[in-house]
């Protein structure tokens, strides 16, 4: 393993590499921003009608519901709410992961560093336009605690990475990762708060959905922005799930190092 000083310099460089790598696909990022913006407008009109019929639903007013809509649309790219964003499944299928696993650096931290750079780029380029259009067309509220919101977004990205890394690394033990990818996408889009605020889910479903890790990816950062969640416990919740998922990913990495399944090549 590299020394502490080497790791300190390596991982920031990997994050910068992840940022620059995705910056080369600026046209795709802008196309994604346009799509997210269009669907944000459509979602906003749906939620406006819902909140006008049910004022105060879930603890939000109409302005809060609109803001929630465009925030979660802005999170799609940085949080990879539809899954993917990692090259691991392809590298496992080709057998290239065998080289990754013998590098003198943590595979998990290597991937995380690159993913943080990717998320930083998409947060600005793909997340900014939906928020800007939402502000211009409907008006969105200002952040309740800007610093806490940025920390919450960063933790949400780490939670998202932790989950996606586990799903990607599971390709070592399954012959086809597409089913896992679809299942991951369904769970994430439903339980993250992307479709509807989790606060409006009734009874046990609402309690369960807010306790699962996916809520840390969109619902919690949006609530920190809106001030409907106390920042300290909200950030603690995200940090806990980030630690749990990263720890599980580290255990799976160790298991993968002992049993690398090369599918093809």
108-129 tens-digit pLDDT: 898 999 999 989 998 888 888 8
What is the residue range of 99's domain? 4-258
Task: Give the pLDDT of residue 97.
Answer: 81
9 domain-assigned: yes
**Most confident of the following: 36-45, 46-55, 208-217:** 208-217
Residue with token string 């093809």:
264
Residue with token string 């900014």:
128
Q: Is the pLDDT of residue 172 over 70?
A: yes
Please give the Cα distance from 75 to 89 (Å, whole number): 23
Q: What is the pTM of this model?
A: 0.88
Please give the Cα distance from 113 to 2 (Å, whole number): 15
Residue 77 makes CB contacts below 8 A (sequence gap 6+) with 29, 32, 33, 36, 119, 122, 123, 125, 126, 127
> pLDDT tens digits for 57-108?
888 889 999 999 999 999 998 999 988 778 888 887 777 787 777 777 788 8
**Most confident of the following: 11-15, 151-155, 180-184:** 151-155
- 172, with CB counted inside 10 A (0-12, 13-18, 19+), is buried
Produce one character per residue of 108-131: b if its CB has 16 or more CB atoms within 10 Å, e if not: bbebbbbbbbbbbbbbbbbbebbb
Residue with token string 């998990």:
108
For range 241-264, the mean pLDDT? 81
DSSP state of 57: G
Domain count, the chain: 1
Please give the Cα distance from 73 to 71 (Å, whole number): 5
179 domain-assigned: yes
163 domain-assigned: yes
264 domain-assigned: no
Q: Is the pLDDT of residue 260 over 80?
A: no
Please give the Cα distance from 20 to 92 (Å, whole number): 24
265 domain-assigned: no
Q: Is the pLDDT of residue 31 over 70?
A: yes
Please give the Cα distance from 194 to 243 (Å, whole number): 23
223 domain-assigned: yes
263 domain-assigned: no
């Amino acid at each position: 393993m590299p020394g502490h000083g080497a790791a300190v310099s390596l991982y920031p460089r990997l994050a910068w590499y992840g940022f620059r790598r995705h910056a080369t696909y600026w046209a795709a990022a802008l196309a994604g921003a346009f799509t997210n913006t269009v669907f944000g407008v459509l979602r906003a009109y749906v939620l406006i009608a819902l909140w006008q019929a049910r004022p105060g639903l879930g603890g939000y007013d109409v302005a809060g519901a609109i803001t929630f809509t465009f925030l979660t649309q802005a999170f799609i790219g940085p949080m990879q709410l539809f899954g993917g964003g990692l090259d691991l499944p392809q590298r496992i299928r080709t057998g290239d992961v065998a080289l990754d696993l013998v590098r003198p650096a943590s595979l998990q931290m290597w991937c995380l560093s690159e993913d943080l750079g990717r998320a930083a780029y998409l947060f600005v380029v793909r997340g900014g336009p939906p928020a800007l259009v939402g502000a211009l067309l409907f008006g969105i509220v200002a952040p309740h605690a800007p610093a806490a919101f940025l920390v919450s977004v960063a933790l949400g990205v780490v939670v998202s990475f932790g989950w996606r890394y586990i799903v990607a690394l599971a390709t070592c033990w399954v012959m086809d990762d597409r089913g896992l990818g679809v299942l991951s996408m369904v769970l994430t889009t439903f339980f993250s708060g992307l479709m509807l605020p989790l606060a409006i889910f009734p009874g046990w479903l609402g309690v369960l959905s807010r306790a699962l890790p996916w809520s840390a990816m969109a619902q919690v950062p949006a609530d920190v922005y809106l001030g409907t969640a106390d920042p300290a416990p909200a950030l603690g919740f995200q940090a806990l799930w980030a630690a749990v998922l990263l720890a599980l990913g580290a255990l799976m990495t160790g298991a993968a190092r002992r049993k690398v399944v090369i599918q093809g090549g």
